[in-house]
Structure 1
């Protein structure tokens, strides 16, 4: 457990000071850092006061991953080929419907597609390996056969990841960070595939019963740091690891907001950040919107807030609307179309 944690105070303004540090080789910059400690009030210091290794972790450009340029924001389109996902369950569980939706998201500006065959919504039951493979592999193979779009397999299970990679997936997105099926790390390493590891407290069936943390921001950071080390020990190269703080996975609305307000902390892990908050329950709570399909505007607002803090990959349902909002945000921030 660390004694201090360092969060860059990210800015994207066109008036960038000469001594500003570029954040992770991307579009943001910072001149100050918030120093966080357990049981102590935060302090803000100048970036130039940081130790060289800390500054390097925050400023070093992130390598391309799964064919994505981590020096710019990337949009990951969600494709759930399940009957029971919280927002779109049953809409794309037939191969032809899934493939058509995938093509639509790519045309609307998706940089990568995230395909899942097991719902991880709160209360969801585990799906068998065979059923999950039967759901995802035909869709991945068809998408791969139709083009070169990057594809992520959203699974906790090594056999599913292995089958998906063989069918043409390019990234393994594991909501359990290797804690559900440890073999998924060796499987990913053997395939030399990129790996996204996510924080979750508990399994989907019970994770929202009563989530508790000493300090949600720092607890999640410690978990991700430990799992990154575990993934590296299993043979996954650090430049191929992505970290996801797991919004909505064993977290209350207050926990989610605490993570989002300071999500730039996770840049100090030295790997790209993935944010998946699209249409989630806390958006409905804040916006007083019960139907997940009516949470698009709130989802776009959260996506832009994350990108303003340097998040490299944003996982969303509404690609066209998010791409339009991102394009306008970038034009306003840069002062040019």
Structure 2
């Protein structure tokens, strides 16, 4: 099935790099390195040069912290989306938000995707996507409140819960008018989950792929990687790429990342091993 992300389409054999661009002063990973608008724009230029097909712009860090109003979130992302849209017409622009009013504003500014990391906390976000002609990322968070950490959350079967909830979210999006080819599902590693849950989702990601919806994974430097290897943020690249390889073998289509080049090479290698992608060059033993 052709994947449609706003004004852009991709064939079903395409894997996509979604590069993270934080318009926040307190991101867990970059610690505000792209808080200033010009620094964020430099980050966009870099990841485009590295081959990212999508940028995911966020105005609020996921972790608990200072309350950010809807007006402040809009001030951080709306004009920036318009600037990126003008500079990169062929780039897919995603915005990481759970708020419908922010979603509507960024769609008007040129966003192609609404990446709802909080599992439909604002039920009107699907309407913003439909009215703005945007794709939507439907995540599983176990019903946790935005910007809170999970505490002793239990599932009879975390994979079954992730499938049930993301498919229900997808159905709501389609009922609101988002085309099926513009709906993506995401198990949302770490969100509403402990490390064992995220490992189980990684191991069984093929069950989500089997639903027929394109699957996005956001693995980069996550806590489940850090806890599994007992490594701090900044030392989790190898673990991230190992998890990425497992998800790529299962057939994940979109990878939300900090490190574009390393993730692209990992995914391309795995897809070639799986027989889904031809090598760029294959002359050994042939000439």
- Alignment correspondent of 2:126: 185
Q: Where does the alignment leave 5 or more consecutive residues of structure 1 unmatched?
A: 1-60
SS at match of 1:314: strand
Deviations 1:296-330 (A, max 9, x none): 22112211221111101011111122123334445
Give the unaligned 5+ runs of structure 2: 281-287
Q: Secondary structure at the match of 1:297?
A: helix
Report which stretch shifted further, 210-219 or 317-326: 317-326
Which position in structure 2 is the counterpart of 1:316?
Answer: 257
SS of the counterpart of 1:188? helix
Q: Which moved more, 1:192-201 or 1:105-114?
A: 192-201
Task: Report the Cα distance in structure 1 between the residues aligned to 2:146 and 2:112, rounded to whole angstroms.
Answer: 25
In the alignment, does 2:231 pair up with 1:286?
A: no
Q: Distance in 1 between matches of 2:201 and 2:67?
A: 27
Cα drift, residue 85 of structure 1: 2.0
Q: Deviations over 1:95-120 (max 9, x none)?
A: 00000011101111111000010111
Find the counterpart in structure 1 of residue 187 from structure 2: 245
Q: Structure 1's 64 and 163: CA in aligned 2 closer, same or farther, altered over 3 A?
A: closer
Equivalent residue number for residue 70 of structure 2: 129
CA contact (8 A) 2:225 2:240 kept: yes
TM-score (structure 2 length as normaliser): 0.89
Equivalent runs, 1:100-111 vs 2, <5 Å: 100-111=42-53
Could you say which residue in structure 2 is the equivalent of 1:14?
Answer: none
SS of equivalent residue, structure 2 residue 256: strand
Q: What is the aligned counterpart of 2:26 among 73, 84, 92?
A: 84
In 1, Cα distance between the equivalents of 2:156 and 2:149? 16
Matched, 1:203 2:145: yes
Q: TM-score, normalised by structure 1?
A: 0.77
Shift of 1:274: 0.5
Aligned length: 274
- The answer to whether the 8 Å contact 1:124/1:204 transfers is no
Q: How far apart, in 2, do the equivalents of 1:215 and 1:232 lie?
A: 26
- For the pair 1:336 / 2:276, whether they are aligned, the reply is no
Task: Report which stretch shifted further, 272-281 or 124-133.
Answer: 124-133
Q: Hey, what does 2:211 align to over in structure 1? A: 269
Write the distance in 1 (CA, Å) between the matches of 2:80 and 2:241: 27
Partner of 2:284: none
Return the offset for 1:64: 3.7
**Largest Rg, 1 or 2:** 1
Say what the alpha-carbon RMSD is for the aligned residues: 1.8
Q: Contact 1:80/1:115 (CA < 8 Å) preserved in 2?
A: yes
Q: How does 1:217-228 map to 2 (within 5 A)?
A: 217-228=159-170
Rounded to whole Å, the distance in 1 between the matches of 2:230 and 2:236 is: 10
> 1:159 — aligned with what?
101
| Inter-partner Cα distance in structure 2 for 1:281 and 1:68 | 32
Give the equivalent residue in structure 1 for 2:5: 65
Q: Residue 303 in 1 paired to residue 244 in 2?
A: yes
1:119 and 1:301 mapped to 2: Cα distance? 25
1:145 aligns with 2:86: yes
The DSSP-based 3-state class of the residue aligned with 1:294 is coil
Moved more, 229-238 or 251-260: 229-238
SS at match of 1:114: strand
Change (3 A) 1:215 1:125: farther
- In structure 2, C-alpha distance between the alignment counterparts of 1:124 and 1:204, rounded to whole Å: 11
